[in-house]
Structure 1
């Protein structure tokens, strides 16, 4: 039977992993479950077009001129959305993996200096991914809002009513993205304290302070 110790989750590095896991799932869920509905027309002639993840679409949504020429509504921000989602998935998987390490083999984590160092470096990479992915997704979200803006579509379509669904979930997705960057970046301090860099520096400070006291003249 596998022995495990959950006391590490009372420490900052363990608590941070729980928060990171939860908020990474929230970022993932709000992105892949978000869709944009554009409704064109009124009365019985209304038609709704739905655009969802990964937000690569091209659709004729209305008649631009009297000769029935359609208006093409298109966007491709799939690379931004997929990078953001990939970062979320990697973060969830890493949180599960490192939580298992903390709970099952924490004695190896604390005794072998390479393990905390690898944890620190991988967390740094994921923090950079969160910043880059959130910035890219914010740019993609801005493009989506511009393309599907009801006033712009209405102006191009002529005298026709256009409704666009709320972007609140998209804004929440972006909020979770930057919040995840903050969580992963903040965690670096707690992980740094587990590395031999910090412990060696602390030991040098202690030795230096002890040496200074021994060399101090007696009065």
Structure 2
């Protein structure tokens, strides 16, 4: 019974840390992590090419694409039962950008989960957090590592997004050889890449948040506030204060 009482006494819910930079910024990091993986992982879009065939007239070739952006698996297709006078074959978009996109989204999800755990510790076990020397140090190391990984993942995703814009843009016409001979082609841009642009911006905002929060986490470690010296030994002679 005493052990159960001791365990329950460790839980002390307190909103005080949420009003401090340490907890407030952690809540912002949690929210921005949601925006990061939602704006990228939930994306789907369409790109179109208008084709004038000699006999079939105006046709629209469409390609649907989205997360995780394996564009080489996305087929550019004509409406059903249309083949542009038998000259249409299967055409795919170019590029596989799944590694950068999945790295960015997966990392954002892990950050989201870590923020939940950190907030639980701050709000329910903050007295233990400040009373233990290891927890603040672990939190500081994780914060520094996460800051660096935000830089890496967002930079890689920003580069991949630039290539995605190219692969789903007017360069599609270069993969349609008959556009230069049999057909008359015109790229029709209906892509809406706003959420993907937002994901990159949010990624760099996360970098700023985590890098800035490293200072407040550092202040909780023994590196910034070394433990106070213990009382002198009872048997030691008193230190003279002056002559």
TM-score, length-normalised on structure 1?
0.83
1:29 maps to 38
Unaligned runs of 5+ in 1: 205-219
Q: Which residue of 2 aligns with 1:216?
A: none
Q: Is residue 188 of structure 1 aligned with residue 214 of structure 2?
A: yes
State the match for 1:61 in structure 2: 76
> Among residues 114, 118, 130, which one is paired with 2:138 in the alignment?
118
Q: 1:161 aligns with which of 160, 163, 186?
A: 186
Q: Return the offset for 1:187.
A: 0.3
Q: Mark the CA change 1:67 to 1:46 in structure 2 (over 3 Å): closer, same or farther.
A: closer
Mark the runs of 5 or more structure 2 residues left unpaired by the alignment. Answer: 1-7, 52-56, 78-82, 230-243
Max radius of gyration: which structure?
Answer: 2
Deviation at 1:68, TM superposition (A): 3.6
Matches within 5 A, 1:67-146: 67-146=87-166
CA contact (8 A) 2:71 2:92 kept: no
**Could you tell me which residue of structure 2 aligns to residue 39 of structure 1?**
48
Aligned to 2:29: 20
Query: Which range moved further: 158-167 or 37-46?
Result: 37-46
CA positional deviation for 1:39: 1.4
Q: CA offset at residue 38 of structure 1?
A: 0.9
Give the RMSD, CA atoms, in angstroms. Answer: 2.5
Higher helix share: 1
Once the two structures are overlaid, the 10-residue window that deviates more, 81-90 or 36-45, is: 36-45
Q: CA deviation at 1:87?
A: 1.3
1:76-116 deviation line (CA, Å, top 9, x unaligned): 11110011001110111011001000111111111111110
SS at match of 1:76: coil
